Structure 1
Amino acid sequence: MTKVDIISGFLGAGKTTFIKRLVTDVFQKEQIVLIENEFGEIGIDGGFLKDAGIEITEMNSGCICCTLVGDFSEALKQVVEQYHPDRILIEPSGVGKLSDVAGAVRNVEEDCGIELNSCITVADGKKVKSYLRNFGEFYSNQIEHAATIVLSRTQSMTDEKLKEAVHLIREENPDASIITTPWDKLDGEVIRKAVEQTSKPTDLLKKACLHQEHYHHGDGCCHHGHHHDEECCHHSHHEDGCCHGHHHDHEGHHHADEIFTSWGTETAEKYERTEIERFLDALTEEHTYGTVLRAKGIVEGMDGTWMEFDYVPGEYEIRDAKPDYTGKVCVIGTDIHTDKIQQTLHV
């Protein structure tokens, strides 16, 4: 039986970094397969993780609920049959709902020979308060349905702020294990215990399945306020994989593509490092490009070296990277001015 661990987390929380840590220090003796679902047209993290020897199935689609009842079960079956892994790590989109993902896994456990082992959420400790306030159901769902919550960036928080973040999380989820110690101070065995001690989060999984039933009929289809005769909603996808224009008739349940905008491109353009710095600095000013929650990319520099960048509100990082087959940039947020971004990046 293949174990399945879901590693969720809001945009820019540090999921990819945490997954690398799990693969390197916690599950290093196991055969691991990562399945990720990127919100947006361009999947960027895939190349970074391939360096660690992980096989990746990328499903670039904005509507995670629909993706999961469609090709998700097929992807799982393929992965199990082809690789016979000890463990599958699922990294949902940063704006995916953990309850949807957990429910979808439970729906196909018997068919695929898998077992849902743990639901983990990575949360940026410095942004818990503002994200709970600003992003409602998308953020709180990931907190509420996790068995283990891993706080990132705690090393740069005061004790007071850390306690406040933990208190807010406890209000949403009184039962989860919460990792507050900076990751670089923890050895792999400590992380394993925190992840595995709630490895049968029965109550949380029941809650996830109940939540799922509000939005899914027993056939596993997500019907969107109108009847599909035996037809799953993934049959009505646009070419980009999103079911645009569909609205759930359940209060408080929205699709990511109703709230968030994703823009992505591949580019052969070359950039000065200072150009990328200016672009990332400008992302913090809402009137320039809209409300940007996440930006990441890998591009070639004027001198032939490559740069990889990551942006979350209030901070960014640019680091040296291995050459990719072409440059890629992805920006996610609300009310994004994509025309201005394209103008700035000459794409």
Structure 2
Amino acid sequence: MTKIDIISGFLGAGKTTLIKKLIEEAFQGEKLMIIENEFGEIGIDGGFLNNSGIEITEMNSGCICCSLVGDFGVALKEALDKYSPERIIIEPSGVGKLSDVIKAIENIKSEVDIKLNSFTAVVDAVKCKMYMDNFGEFFNNQIENANTIVLSRTQKISEEKLEVCVSQIREHNSFATIITTNWDEINGKQILSAMEREESLEKELLVEVKNNKSENHQHSEECCCNNHKNHTKEECECDNHEHHIDCNCNDHNHAHHTHDHECGCGHDHHSHDHHHADEVFTSWGMETPKKFSKVEINNILKTLSESSDYGIILRAKGIIPCSDGGWINFDLVPGEYEVREGIADYTGRLCVIGTNLNKNEIEELFDV
């Protein structure tokens, strides 16, 4: 039986980085295959993974969750027949709905020998609130349907903001395992173990408490009303108290309590009630042999990050030859970008994803 692991995550959350970590530290010795589905015409992430020696199938003409559900089923069956992998990792588009990917797999489970092993959402802890507010239909769907939520970039925020992030996620998913530890501090086997756990620690403790119930155990630690008489939270008679155990914000009226947005892209965002990614998001992609200097690509990314002339840029990435020698990989998410040395690919590839993109202006900016 082939295990199926879905690793979802909004644009730029770190899905590919997590997959690389799992390949190097957790999946060694397994016959592994990756099915990638990128939104847009140009596949980038496959290039980052090609050197892993893993069989990779890319689907770039649309979303698994939208128009390719039928084709996805065919592709999965062909992969099983041709390669007989022990495990398949499915990396859906960042703007895909995890619920639809799960459904697509469930629809063919009776026809093939597979087990839906885990369904994970990678969440950027820095931008969680902003994406939750502005792209909730897609972003929240991934959180709500995951059995494990892996927070990325937790080392970039304070402990207080991390607690707020977890609290916000818990409002959408109260049962998933949430990994909050910086990825550099844990190995891939620990992450995989959390992904595959059927019971969370919370559930284990609840079972333990029920099995060891005693009349003298009053749970007074759950009350934060500063009146520590022995009573349960249900028995508390303090006014206007909702007993939010995990909240340290000193404002217990959460119906009106909001936190600052982490968006640094300089644009006003609005929620949209659409059903398909291609109704909300657009992409521009290009394959090119053109060489860029590090200075040039930094200037381009700075412009994309700061100017509103190109639309609302949510993600940009690329693998391109460098005029100074070697190759460059770059990544951009709202408010920040990174340029680093990379490994050569069959040609240079560029991709920009966002809303209301001005594709002509973007093409002129890259001068391709």
Place the TM-score, normalised by the shorter chain, in its bin: 0.7 to 0.9
Inter-CA distance 68–112: structure 2 relative to 1 (3 Å threshold) = farther
1:272: how far off?
Answer: 1.6
Unaligned residue ranges in structure 2 (runs of 5+): 201-271
Letter in structure 1 aligned against 2:175: D
1:10 Cα deviation from its structure 2 partner: 0.1
Aligned to 1:301: 322
- Give the C-alpha shift of residue 286 in structure 1: 4.2
Structure 1: 5+ residue stretches without partners: 201-250
The answer to whether the 8 A contact 1:308-1:320 is kept is yes
Paired position in structure 2 for 1:229: none
Worse-superposed segment, 305-314 or 327-336: 305-314
Question: Shift of the alpha carbon at 1:335?
Answer: 1.0
Asked whether the 8 Å contact 1:39–1:61 carries over to 2, the reply is: yes
| Matching residue's letter, 1:344 | L
For 1:337 and 1:199, how far apart are their aligned partners in 2? 47
Give 2:343's aligned amino acid: K
Q: Is residue 61–residue 67 contact of structure 1 (8 Å, CA) maintained in 2?
A: no
Q: Does 1:173 align with 2:173?
A: yes
Q: Confirm whether residue 284 of structure 1 aligns to residue 311 of structure 2.
A: no
CA contact (8 A) 1:118 1:199 kept: no
Residue 50 of structure 1: aligned partner: 50
Amino acid at match of 1:338: K
**Residues 325 and 107 of structure 1: CA distance in aligned 2, closer, same or farther (over 3 Å):** same
Measure how far apart 1:285 and its partner are.
2.0
Residue correspondence of structure 1 range 197-216 to structure 2 within 5 A: 197-198=197-198
Shift of 1:127: 0.7
| 8 A contact 1:5–1:90 mirrored in 2 | yes
1:316 equivalent in alignment to 2:337: yes
Partner of 1:263: 284
- Counterpart of 2:244? none
Q: Secondary structure at the match of 1:303?
A: coil
Kindly report structure 1 stretches of 4+ aligned residues shifted beyond 6 Å.
none
One-letter identity of the residue aligned with 2:34: L
Q: How does 1:101-120 map to 2 (within 5 A)?
A: 101-120=101-120
Q: 2:6 matched to 1:6?
A: yes
Q: Which residue matches 1:21?
A: 21
In structure 2, distance between residues paired with 1:307 and 1:87 = 31
Q: Quick one: distance in 2 between partners of 1:2 and 1:253? A: 34
Give TM-score, length-normalised by structure 2. 0.78
Alignment of 1:243-254 (within 5 A): 252-254=273-275
TM-align CA RMSD: 1.6
- For residue 277 of structure 1, what is the amino acid of its counterpart? N
Superimposed CA distance per residue, residues 253-307 of structure 1 (whole angstroms, 9 cap, x where no aligned partner): 5111100011000112121211100111112224131110000001112233211
Determine which structure has the larger helix proportion and give its number.
1
Q: Call closer, same or farther: CA 1:336–1:66 in 2, change over 3 Å.
A: closer
**What is residue 183 of structure 1 aligned with on the other side?**
183
Give the partner amino acid of 1:91. E
Aligned residues: 297
Contact kept? 1:33, 1:89, Cα under 8 Å: yes
Match for residue 225 of structure 1? Answer: none
> Quick one: which amino acid aligns to residue 342 of structure 2?
A
**Partner residue in 1 for 2:142:** 142
Paired residue secondary structure (1:131)? helix
Aligned partners of 1:260, 1:120: CA distance in 2, in Å? 22
Counterpart Cα distance in 2 of 1:286 and 1:102: 37
Alpha-carbon distance, 1:184 to partner? 1.0
Q: 1:270 to 1:179 in 2, by over 3 A?
A: same
Q: Does 1:335 align with 2:359?
A: no
C-alpha contact (below 8 Å) 1:68/1:101 kept by paired residues: no
**Distance apart, 1:66 and its partner CA:** 3.8
**SS of structure 1 residue aligned to 2:308:** helix
Task: Please give the alpha-carbon distance, in whole angstroms, between the structure 2 residues aligned to 1:170 and 1:346.
Answer: 45
1:119-147 Cα shifts (integer Å, max 9, x gaps): 10000001110001010201100000000
* Separation (CA, whole Å) in 2 of partners of 1:301 and 1:27: 33
- Are the aligned partners of 1:144 and 1:173 in contact in 2 as well (CA < 8 Å)? yes
**Contact 1:269–1:346 (CA under 8 A) maintained in structure 2:** no
Determine helix, strand or coil for the equivalent of 1:11.
coil
Distance in 2 between residues matched to 1:59 and 1:170, nearest whole Å: 32
Equivalent residues in 2 for 1:151-170, closer than 5 Å: 151-170=151-170
Comparing 270-279 and 13-22, the one that deviates more = 270-279
* Distance change (3 Å), C-alpha of 1:286 and 1:112: farther
Deviation at 1:341, TM superposition (A): 1.1
- Matching residue of 1:38: 38
1:65–1:199 distance in 2 versus 1, CA, 3 Å: farther
CA distance in 2: counterparts of 1:23 and 1:199, whole angstroms: 24
Query: Once the two structures are aligned, what percentage of the paired residues are identical?
Result: 58
Does the 8 Å contact 1:290/1:336 carry over to 2?
yes
TM-score (norm 1): 0.83
Residue matched to 1:130: 130
